[in-house]
């Protein structure tokens, strides 16, 4: 069977956990099919990640030489060009804003089926991809009889593979062509933060319209700091300008799947639930006992967040 490819995020930063998760999934597929796992990574510092990628299961690391992170269109063009030479069986990308642009373009270029927001991959005579559409009200398990399949994988959906430091990988350079260079992003602006990345956080404390303003998110951040958690937000809070869009969770924001999600002052719209519905445990804090968020919560606290959240933070700090 043809090789399994993984497009690696964050070449010029610390590698994200989702890269390990995708490589573990690709490794399981490759072992079943007696194939190889190929990791494709961009950026000036990409070569420094080869050892880590090999330890997670990569047999070959293809380094696309570029001075900066490429635009999603450039990622799609590069992968399509490389795939035309090697015809991989599966191409995995981490689900997110960039891959939602790159993956459809790649699938179109390869005339390949696309499975988005995959939460499980099963190896066998056929490769099955599991999705949870309609805010997880439906479980979809699908396959496709095609030479190449493109899929985006939800962060924290697949297990992290065990690290095998003895593994090595062949490292190959693949220069970016002129078309790619024309679309490369020169810089990416991010708000500085010492907190864990929202998409990969094990605990998320999120605020919504009930925060009433930017000052309300100081309460959210205080609890997040006590728990070592990431901060999230609903779309109304972002639209009001109370917090940056990078913290938005939901259908038009980031998809998260933490062990614990604490929703503070969030009504629980279907759009927000689409982004955090895979959380293992949901605690909702809302002063409206009829708020929709309680229907999807494991634990509910009917209270004003400005009273309840500081009490939770104090209790956490006392236990620590």
Q: What is the mean pLDDT of the chain?
A: 89
How many domains does the chain contain in total? 2
Q: Does residue 171 form part of some domain?
A: yes
- At residue 229, the pLDDT reads 96
CATH code: domain of residue 38: 3.40.50.620
Residue set of the binding site for FAD: 209, 234-235, 248-252, 265-272, 286
pTM exceeding the 0.85 threshold for the entire prediction? no
Q: Is residue 192 part of a domain?
A: no
Residue range of the domain that includes 86: 4-181
Name residue 91's beta-bridge partners: 5, 150
Statement: residue 189 has pLDDT above 60: no
Annotated binding site: 209, 234-235, 248-252, 265-272, 286
Question: End of a domain among 181, 215, 230?
Answer: 181
Considering only residues 188 and 97, tell me which one the structure prediction assigns the higher pLDDT.
Answer: 97
Distance CA 234, CA 292 (A): 14
Q: Residues 4, 35: contact at Cβ < 8 Å?
A: yes
Q: Within a domain: residue 29?
A: yes
* Residue 193, both tokens: 């933060």
* 51 within domain boundaries: yes
**For the residues 54-75, what does the mean pLDDT come to?**
85
In a domain, 61, yes or no: yes
Q: What pLDDT was estimated at residue 184?
A: 47
- The answer to whether position 173 is within a domain reads yes
Same-domain status, 24 and 95: yes
Q: Do 72 and 164 lie in a common domain?
A: yes
pLDDT in the model for residue 190: 54
Q: What pLDDT is stored for residue 278 in this prediction?
A: 85
3-state secondary structure 202-263: CEEEEECHHHCCHHHHHHHHHHHHHHCCEEEECHHHHHCCCCCHHHEECCCCECCCCCEEEE
pLDDT of residue 178: 52
62 lies in a domain? yes
């Amino acid at each position: 069977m043809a090789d399994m490819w993984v497009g690696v995020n964050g070449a010029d930063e610390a590698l994200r956990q989702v890269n390990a998760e995708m490589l573990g999934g690709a490794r399981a597929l490759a072992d079943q099919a007696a194939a190889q796992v190929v990791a494709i990574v961009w950026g000036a510092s990409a070569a420094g990640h080869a050892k880590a990628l090999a330890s997670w299961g990569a047999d070959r690391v293809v380094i696309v030489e570029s001075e900066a992170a490429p635009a999603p269109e450039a990622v799609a063009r590069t992968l399509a060009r490389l795939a035309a030479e090697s015809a991989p069986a599966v191409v995995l990308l981490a689900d997110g804003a960039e891959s939602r642009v790159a993956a459809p373009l790649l699938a179109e270029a390869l005339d390949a089926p696309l499975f988005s927001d995959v939460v499980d991959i099963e190896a066998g005579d056929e490769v099955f991809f599991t999705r949870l559409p309609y805010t997880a009200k439906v479980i979809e398990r699908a396959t496709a009889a095609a030479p190449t399949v493109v899929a985006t994988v939800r962060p924290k959906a697949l297990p992290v593979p065990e690290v095998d430091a003895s593994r090595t990988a062949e490292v190959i350079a693949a220069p970016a062509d002129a078309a790619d260079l024309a679309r490369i992003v020169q810089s990416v602006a991010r708000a500085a933060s010492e907190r864990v990345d929202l998409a990969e956080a094990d605990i998320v404390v999120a605020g919504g319209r009930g925060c009433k303003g930017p000052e309300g998110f100081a309460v959210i951040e205080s609890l997040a700091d006590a728990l070592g958690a990431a901060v999230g937000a609903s779309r109304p809070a972002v639209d009001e300008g109370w917090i940056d869009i990078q913290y938005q969770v939901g259908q038009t924001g980031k998809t998260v799947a933490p062990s614990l999600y604490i929703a503070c002052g969030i009504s629980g719209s279907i759009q927000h639930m689409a982004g955090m519905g895979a959380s293992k445990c949901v605690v909702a804090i809302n002063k409206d006992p009829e708020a929709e968020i309680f229907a999807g919560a494991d634990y509910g606290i009917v209270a004003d967040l400005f009273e309840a959240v500081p009490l939770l933070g104090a209790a956490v700090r006392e236990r620590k």
